[in-house]
């Protein structure tokens, strides 16, 4: 019987294996050098855009007196004669997280009549058709707001909590006052306007630092049990802002 000799399958040599590994390592290095920093830059850019959006929402809201907030008499914690008065009392509200300012988005129901402040109530997610039955709106309001407090549970995306601390000009620089949410030395906007003599160009101005915290869950009840800001951890970012009579 004639035997057929089978040739053994030829494998890779050690040199070929090392060259292949070197090629793979080079390609991975190129990927890390080119794409990872680019991804980091994109993430940083998106984070910056999100921060600017939140700052814009807060600034716009503090420059707006809604219909249910307006009064022709003396301003209070919920009724304002001017936007300066609104900003003054909102700053004082952030003395405690349970009355601080929250910023969140939700889908408003276009089939519903507007609330007293001009916004509409939320629509259930299963009934929401963006652009047809709902619009995505982003608002800033106190945690104890009578209209929007119940809407926080319907938030789309993260909920942010804002702490505002007055800044005073001392020693050639702006420094925070001793306690967040306190307008140092003044009990009301009228009191501030009457007593303040160091007016900046353009009129009386309150400078403050706004610290933005991320709420772990879209549940306002989590804030009702928090008496101090330490329980919310560290702010995700901060911004220096101002409240002026010309706002």
What confidence category does residue 41 fall into, taking pLDDT thresholds of 50, 70 and 90? Answer: very low
Residue (of 78, 151, 79) closest to 119 by Cα position = 151
What confidence category does residue 60 fall into, taking pLDDT thresholds of 50, 70 and 90? Answer: very high
Average pLDDT of the chain to the nearest whole number: 80
**Measured distance CA(54)–CA(33) in Å, rounded:** 32
| Interhelix angle 83-93/14-62, nearest 10 degrees | 120
Lowest mean pLDDT among 70-79, 121-130, 162-171: 121-130
Burial class (CB in 10 A: 0-12, 13-18, 19+), 66: middle
| Structure confidence at residue 211 (pLDDT) | 94
- Numbers of helices and strands, H then E, in the chain: 4, 6
Residue (of 128, 192, 184, 179) closest to 156 by Cα position = 128
| Structure confidence at residue 129 (pLDDT) | 80
Please report how many Cα atoms fall inside a 13 Å half-sphere around the Cα of residue 207, on the Cβ side: 14
What confidence category does residue 91 fall into, taking pLDDT thresholds of 50, 70 and 90? Answer: very high
Residue (of 179, 175, 12, 188) closest to 96 by Cα position = 179
The better pLDDT of the pair 186, 220 is held by 186
| Structure confidence at residue 212 (pLDDT) | 94
Q: Is the pLDDT of residue 38 over 50?
A: no
| Structure confidence at residue 35 (pLDDT) | 55
What confidence category does residue 218 fall into, taking pLDDT thresholds of 50, 70 and 90? Answer: low
| Structure confidence at residue 154 (pLDDT) | 87
What confidence category does residue 206 fall into, taking pLDDT thresholds of 50, 70 and 90? Answer: confident
């Amino acid at each position: 019987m004639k035997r057929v000799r089978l040739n053994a399958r030829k494998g890779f040599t050690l040199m070929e294996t090392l060259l292949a590994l070197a090629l793979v390592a080079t390609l991975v290095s190129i990927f890390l050098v080119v794409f990872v920093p680019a991804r980091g830059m994109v993430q940083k850019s998106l984070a910056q855009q999100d921060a600017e959006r939140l700052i814009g929402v807060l600034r716009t809201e503090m420059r707006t007196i809604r219909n249910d907030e307006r009064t022709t008499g003396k301003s209070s914690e919920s009724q304002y004669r001017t936007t300066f008065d609104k900003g003054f009392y909102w700053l004082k509200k952030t003395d405690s997280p349970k009355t601080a300012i929250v910023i969140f988005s939700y889908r408003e129901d276009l089939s519903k009549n507007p609330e007293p402040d001009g916004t509409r109530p939320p629509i259930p997610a299963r009934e929401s058709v963006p652009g047809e039955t709902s619009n995505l709106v982003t608002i800033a309001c106190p945690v104890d707001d009578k209209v929007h407090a119940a809407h926080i549970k319907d938030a789309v995306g993260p909920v942010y909590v804002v702490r505002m601390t007055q800044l005073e000009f001392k020693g050639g620089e702006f420094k925070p006052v001793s306690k967040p949410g306190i307008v140092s030395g003044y009990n009301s906007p009228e009191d501030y306007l009457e007593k303040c003599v160091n007016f900046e160009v353009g009129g009386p101005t309150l400078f403050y630092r706004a610290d933005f915290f991320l709420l772990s869950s879209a549940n306002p009840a989590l804030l009702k049990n928090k008496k101090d800001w330490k329980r919310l951890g560290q702010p995700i970012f901060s911004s220096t802002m101002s409240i002026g009579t010309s706002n």
